[in-house]
Homo-oligomer: A and B are copies of this chain.
Amino acid sequence: MTILQEHGIQPSAQRVAVADYVLQTIEHPSADLVWNRVKARVPYISRATVYNTLNLFVEKGLLQALALAEDSVVFDPKMERHHHFVDERTGAIHDVAWDKVQVCNIEGLKGFEIHDYQVVMRGVRKGARRRA
């Protein structure tokens, strides 16, 4: 029983190849980066399949899609609640553990039924080289 089957996904060769990379990465790849990474191992996979597979994984709860960068949606396999830090110099996205910061009084907000929230931080990673 694979992780894919546990989530009701037929494990085709292409889907397994995408899963092998995207479910364990921390680099917050865009769809096109996933395509490139997976092509390195499975050169015959098509772009449409990668997009379909990523959308399927999101729908089935294996992956989160995040709109943090200006230019594209990125994917994150870390499904526990967490925050994000965006490096303004490199564009790199880093996970920040849920309990490192606290958000208070959010339950008190009137007029909104909040399903989910996170803190989005921008700045520079200390010690990181420019344009990594």
Contact = CB atoms under 8 A, between A and B. Distances in A.
B103 A102 contact: yes
A17 interface: no
Given A67-B67, A69-B67, A70-B65, A114 B106 contact: no
Interface stretch (A7-15, A35-43, A46-54, A117-125): A117-125
A73 B56 CA distance: 24
Contacts of A117: 119-122
Contact of A112 (B69, B109, B121): B121
A68 interface: yes
A68 to B, nearest CB: 6
Given A70-B73, A73-B70, A101 B104 contact: yes
